[in-house]
Amino acid sequence: MTATILPTPADLSITPRDRRFGREAAAPRLWHGGRVEATAIYNALSTTFPAGEAFFVESVRAFREDAPAKLAEEIKGFTPQVAIHSREHDAFNKRATSSGYDLSRLEAQIEKRLAVTRTKPPIVSLAATMALEHFTAILAHQLLANPRHLEGAEQEAADLWRWHAVEEIEHKGVAYDTWLHATRYWPRWKRWKVKAKVMLYVTRNFVVDRTAGSLELMRQDGVSGLRAWALLLHYLWVRPGMFRKIAGAWLKFFLPGFHPWNQDDRHLLRRYEASVTPKREPARKVRRAA
Ligand SMILES: [Fe+2]
Ligand SMILES: [Fe+2]
């Protein structure tokens, strides 16, 4: 048997931070600096999380049975983190609904995608999770590294997105390590081919669905047609240009020897922990779920 290399840092601790955001006061409808396109993009992304995160957990846990001790430990930290993300984004989405947005079309599209994936063998769900987790981790890195992305955002909402980004970085190797373990007997070429195909497929769906979702929410704010497209594309590709800025990191996924922890970005986690003011409720450590 070939030993599987797990380059997730040996001293990494995946620790759920059980925080709650925005329960006290209502945020303005256009919480992201009064900007229709910025609010729409983040709201569209948030809509994916309650069902999406549940799918990630289910996909990873399907392969936990014979996981080596270190991977089993990673999965134990991952599960409650992801469950709390679902809870907080569900609350965030309810606030969007109470400020007048109708998210039903976006939610239906997510359910449709998940239903298609669930008809496939469990390894496909794991591959999709691994690809989406890389996507999420590079978005998270960019969000924390560049304060421009949340510039002007309402405080509690910005705090939610930063908190989520921190934990996405912390657990970014879990689905990938599970994948390495689950496919440990596959030939390298097959592993790469499946991984590359799945990444292209989920990226296409992600871009198409989040664009459609954002345009739908902008339409609900009375912005449509060419103006909506121009605002959206400018925001995503030009300034602050999230998609442009993650393009290089996205491409690295296809390189031989790729692993999410080839980039050790734990300095962003340390910076975040140092920035959480003492006034705030300290990160409550949650006992890891078995
Ligand atoms: Fe998450
Ligand atoms: Fe994640």
Q: Which-ligand-closest: CA of 133?
A: 2
Å from CA of 148 to ligand 2 middle:
22
Q: Which tokens in the block code for residue 218?
A: 């902008």
Q: Which-ligand-closest: CA of 83?
A: 1
Average pLDDT over residues 272-281: 76
Å from CA of 206 to ligand 2 middle:
15
CA distances from 287 to 14, 102, 110, 166, 170 (A): 11, 36, 31, 19, 17
**pLDDT at position 284:** 60
**pLDDT at position 282:** 56
The residue behind tokens 């689950």 is 182
What type of residue sits at position 112? K
Pure H helices in the chain = 36-61, 69-98, 104-118, 122-145, 155-170, 174-182, 188-220, 225-233, 242-252, 266-275
Å from CA of 272 to ligand 1 middle:
16
Q: Is the pLDDT of residue 286 over 60?
A: no
Give this prediction's pTM: 0.93
CA 199 to chain centroid, in Å, comes to 14
Å from CA of 82 to ligand 1 middle:
5
Neighbours of ion ligand 1 (CB under 5 A): 85
Q: How confident is the model at residue 26 (pLDDT cuts 50, 70, 90)?
A: confident
Q: How confident is the model at residue 114 (pLDDT cuts 50, 70, 90)?
A: very high
Count of other CB atoms within 10 angstroms of residue 257:
8
Å from CA of 54 to ligand 2 middle:
10
Å from CA of 231 to ligand 1 middle:
27
- Give tens-digit pLDDT for 78-105: 999 999 999 999 999 999 999 999 999 9
Å from CA of 279 to ligand 1 middle:
25
Whether the CB-CB separation of 175 and 79 falls below 8 Å is answered with no
CA dist., res. 13 & res. 175, Å (int):
15
**pLDDT at position 3:** 45
CA dist., res. 124 & res. 132, Å (int):
12
Whether the CB-CB separation of 82 and 192 falls below 8 Å is answered with no
Å from CA of 283 to ligand 2 middle:
18
- Spatial neighbors of 167 by CB under 8 A, at least 6 apart, are 16, 17, 81, 85
Residue among 88, 131, 128 nearest 253 (CA):
131
- Give tens-digit pLDDT for 28-86: 999 999 999 999 999 999 999 999 999 999 999 999 999 999 999 999 999 999 999 99
Q: Which-ligand-closest: CA of 175?
A: 2
